[in-house]
Structure formats: structure tokens, C-alpha cells
Chains A and B, each alone.
Chain A
């Protein structure tokens, strides 16, 4: 249970960063932290005490952890990689246009 609480704390760190930070790069990092918390959460669901990695090696079959969440996490890591790259590209362009990383100064759209 402690592990899940710690995982939730990590998620909250990410949420705090997205909401409270004004620096664009820190917002991207916070989104990354939220994603890691989600991935950790999936892995924790799959974990079974005393089980081994879910790969057949030719020997005898021992109890394994659930492999499906690990595959999901792999996919979601790839997706987060894409998100991060896209966000960084947008931030670079925003810096070119506005000359700042401060989100409070990037306010040309209103209403």
C-alpha cells in the first residue's frame, strides 16, 4: 500500500508542477513526471511478490509477473517520448516568437 501512496505522491508532484510552475520547460518536465507515475502505477499492478520476469528461457516455467502491463508501459513510454519531443519543439518556437520561457508573458490569446 505504501508503494501505491508513494506513486500517487509522484503523480501529485507532476500535477503541482503543471499547475503552479510558470516556466515552460518545467511544465514539460512535470508532464513527464505525471507520465512516469502512471507507468509506475501500471507496473505495480502487474507485480507479484516472488515472481520472475515474463520471458521463456527454455528452462522450467516459474511463476511470472503479468507481462501485459509491461507491454502497455512500453507503448506509453514511446507515446510520452513523442509528446515530449513535440512539446519541446513548440517551446523552442515559442521562445523564438516571444523571447521568453515565462508562461505568464505568453498571453496573446484572450477571451
Chain B
């Protein structure tokens, strides 16, 4: 009963905003804040309700193998919480930041459409429906990247749009091949018939999906669009793209399709490990040489996606646990870092690290939260990033891959170097700066709330909480037979 609300609420909000907010921008803010807050509450409730079970919702009363169903299991619920949490803070942050750019209501409408797409991708149980929702989210993202109307933003949006469309076509062809082999589009039914298929078909389908979803996740050979798009977009959109969108359209779909549907073919797991490791190292180095605040963060996003892919590729329960936990942590601290970058840009008008300095006094909240986020992203003990990276490294050692563990540690050191560059040059350098605008309450609330989650987020792996929060998610990813049975059974 609750599941379609995740799609209905943002959709209604988007079109109501275009309808009534044309005259008064306030309505856009009110509607989108209410909608995203409602969805966050719903997401928490539904995650607690699921509790390791699976809830099926049949759209339009069409019975399961024939119609389109929404499927809520622990993995979906977990992703929904992450998406709607970051979205709520991003909207609160946008209230001041976007007024700075003008033309509010279109922004909020597009934001709500992007949220519709992401919630749909997470919830749907039908592979073509997943493609359609993915396109909705991507369109809104293309338009939002270009929202600031500067030349660089158009350029980045064009690159992103070209890459996104090409990857979508790959995915469409993959869906076509899968349909012709299995005669169904429901993911659980496909999973049921996959063991009867010849391994060659799995190889073809997997290759097409890897190209398509890998491009959306921006793993290393497919990463070219990400630094441009994520550094050019407005700061709340950067945080949505980097924190949530690449994970929903890339990582979530990869885990769902490769683990639950295609039954984790070994060759693709190896590929995940390889591209994950490449992403960690190369983009770690590339991040260090950047002087643009947001561009540095964008490269570091690719590196952290590498960690998640590495954990998924190991395919041991511990590795998956680390990947899932790192997914949550990265969404939180990367969004926080992008908010910091945005507030620095808003206050000083530049994000060139060489021109910033002495922000401790000028922007105390920004500076304080950025220290927390930097320590968290580079894996310093009391913060959440430490635990997830530690779990991934331990999983690599336990899987008999000590080299990978060493490379992951090296990647962590590279990340530390990159964020220390932000701290040393950007925020504490001895350069006098002229503030242009004060950072308002909304932006500070968004940053502080995420910083608090950064500190307490480490508790998710504590015994007692872990059994409720993370273990069901890992179970969903690893237990393929259970997914088929719970979706189709009855």
C-alpha cells in the first residue's frame, strides 16, 4: 500500500510546482520540502517494516508474472533511506543557494522528477520499467547540471547527456537480448530462467549491462563525464549526483542485476575487482593534482566508487557488507563536502583552492563540518568512513587477496592526501579573502545534520544495530534463490 507513494508524491509535487509555483516561488520550496520530508519518513517506516521480508505491490491489479510490480526488500529500503535523506538536506540547502541563481520553480520541479526516477529505479521489479525510470532521473539530471546557464555548465551537460544516452542504448539492447532469451521482463522470472541459459548469452548480456551501468556508475574506464558534470553543476545537485545518483543508477542496478538476476557470474566479479582497483588508484592520483575544489571532490567520488565495486566484486559476505556500508557513508560525507564547496563558492565567489584561505573565522560551520567530512572520507578511526574501509580491507585479506588490500590502503592514503590539500590550501592558507554573502541558516542546518550523521554513522556496524540495519541488505544481495521465491512465490 505504501510503495507507490514513493513515486506518486514526487511526481505530484513536480507537476504541482510547475502549475502553481509559476507565480510564487515560495510554493516550490514548500512543496518540495514537504514532499521530500514525507518520503524520508515513509522510507524509514518502510525499512523498519520490511525487516528482512519482501513486500510486493502489483501495479494496476495485474498479477505478478504478467504485470509490473514494485518490490521492496531490505536493499531497496536501505537505498530509499539514503536517497531521501540526501535529497531532503539538498533541498534545505538549495533554499538559499538556488535563490542565488534565480528562476527557482523549475529547479524544484526538476529536482522532484529526478527523485521520482531514482525512487522508481530502486523500487521497480521490472527490468524495462527500471530503464524508463532511469531515463527520467537522467533527463532531470542533465537539465539540472546545465541549470546555472554558464558556458562550462552547458558543455558538461552536453558531455553527460551524450554519454548517458549512449549508455542507455547499450542497456536497451541488453534488455532486448535478455527478453529474447527468457521471454519475460520481470526480474524475478528472468532470474528463474537464467540457470537454463547458455553461458554465452549471459556473457553478452552481462557485457552490455556492464558497459551501460558502468558508464552510469563512472567506474574508471567509463569515468570521463563525471568530473565535468559533477564539478559544474550547482552544489546541491553535485551532492545529489555524486552522493546518490551514481550509486542508484550504477551500483544499485549492478548489484540487483548481476547478483539477484544473473546470479553473479565469476568473470564479472573479477572485472568488478579490476575496475574497482583501477578506479581507486588512478582517480586517487588524479584527485591530488586538481586545484578546483569541486573537481577534486568529483575525482575522489570515482575513487570511492572503486571501493564499493571492490567490495561487491569480492562477493564474500564481509565484502558486500563493507560495500553496502561504504555506499551509505560515501553518500553522507561526499554530499557534505560538496555542500562545503558550495558554501565556499557562494561566500567567496571562487572555488580555486589557491585563492581561498582563513575560512575558520569567516565560515566556522563550513570549516568545522569539512574537517569532519575530510577525516571521515580518508578513513580516520572515530568516523564512519574508517569502519567501511576497514571492513573492505579485511574482506580482501580474508578472500586471499592481500595485494588488493594493500592497494586499497594506498588508495586511502591518496584520499587523505587529497582532502588534506583542501584543508591546508583551501581553508587554512594565509590569504586574505573578501566575503560576499553570508551563509544562511538552511545551508548550515543541512551541513550540520550531515556532519552529525557522519559521526554517529559508524554505529551502524556496532553489534545489535548491524543485525537490523546492514545484515538483511547483505542477505538480499547474496541470496538469489530467496529473491526469486519471495517475489514470485505465493
Interface residues of A (CB under 8 A from B): 11, 18, 24, 27, 31, 34-35, 38, 41-42, 45, 68-69, 72, 75-76, 79-80, 82-83, 86-87, 90-91, 93-94, 97-98, 106, 108-109, 111
Contact = CB atoms under 8 A, between A and B. Distances in A.
A109 B156 contact: yes
Interface in B141-161: 142-143, 146, 149-152, 154-158, 161
A75 B128 contact: yes
Nearest to A31: B165
Given A42-B176, A90-B146, A27 B292 contact: no
Given A79-B132, A79-B135, A97-B154, A90 B161 contact: yes
B222 interface: no
Given A45-B180, A75-B128, A76-B172, A34 B166 contact: yes
Contacts of B157: 90
Given A45-B180, A109-B232, A87 B162 contact: yes
Given A69-B176, A75-B128, A91 B158 contact: yes
Given A18-B162, A75-B132, A98-B155, 6 more contacts: A27-B162, A38-B169, A41-B173, A42-B172, A94-B158, A109-B228
Contacts of B150: 97
A18 B156 CA distance: 16
Interface string B289-307: 1101001000000000000
Contact of A108 (B146, B152, B165, B179): B152
A56 B306 CA distance: 52
B139 interface: yes
B227 interface: yes
B185 interface: yes
B161 A94 contact: no
Nearest to A76: B172
A68 B185 contact: yes
Contacts of B156: 109
Contacts of A75: 128, 132
Nearest to A82: B139
B154 A94 contact: yes
A106 B166 CA distance: 20
B158 A108 contact: no
Given A45-B176, A75-B132, A86 B143 contact: yes
A41 B292 CA distance: 44
Nearest to B159: A109
B135 A34 contact: no
B35 to A, nearest CB: 23
A88 B147 CA distance: 16
A97 B161 CA distance: 18
A94 to B, nearest CB: 5
Contacts of A79: 132, 135, 168
Nearest to A108: B152
Contact of A93 (B142, B154, B166, B168): B154
Contacts of B132: 75, 79
A83 B155 contact: no
- Interface residue SS majority, chain B: helix
A38 B155 contact: no
A86 B166 contact: no
A94 B155 contact: yes
Nearest to A18: B166
A3 B155 CA distance: 38
B151 A111 contact: no
30 contacts: A11-B173, A24-B158, A38-B169, A38-B176, A41-B173, A45-B176, A45-B179, A45-B180, A69-B176, A72-B175, A72-B179, A75-B128, A79-B132, A79-B135, A80-B165, A83-B165, A86-B142, A86-B161, A87-B161, A90-B154, A90-B157, A91-B158, A93-B149, A94-B158, A106-B158, A109-B155, A109-B228, A111-B289, A111-B290, A111-B292
A80 to B, nearest CB: 8
B158 A90 contact: yes
A39 to B, nearest CB: 8
Given A34-B169, A111-B290, A41 B158 contact: no
B139 A72 contact: no
Given A34-B166, A111-B227, A111-B295, A69 B155 contact: no
Contact of A35 (B149, B169, B231): B169
B36 to A, nearest CB: 24
Contacts of B154: 90, 93-94, 97
Given A90-B157, A108-B151, A111-B292, A41 B162 contact: no
Interface string B218-246: 00000000011001100000000000000
Given A72-B128, A111-B227, A86 B139 contact: yes
A27 B156 CA distance: 15
Contacts of A18: 162, 166
A1 to B, nearest CB: 14
A90 B155 CA distance: 8
A76 to B, nearest CB: 6
A7 B286 CA distance: 39
Contacts of A109: 152, 155-156, 228, 231-232
A109 B228 CA distance: 7
Nearest to B172: A38
Contact of A87 (B165, B176, B180, B290): B165
A93 to B, nearest CB: 5
A77 to B, nearest CB: 11
Given A38-B173, A86-B139, A111-B295, A93 B146 contact: yes
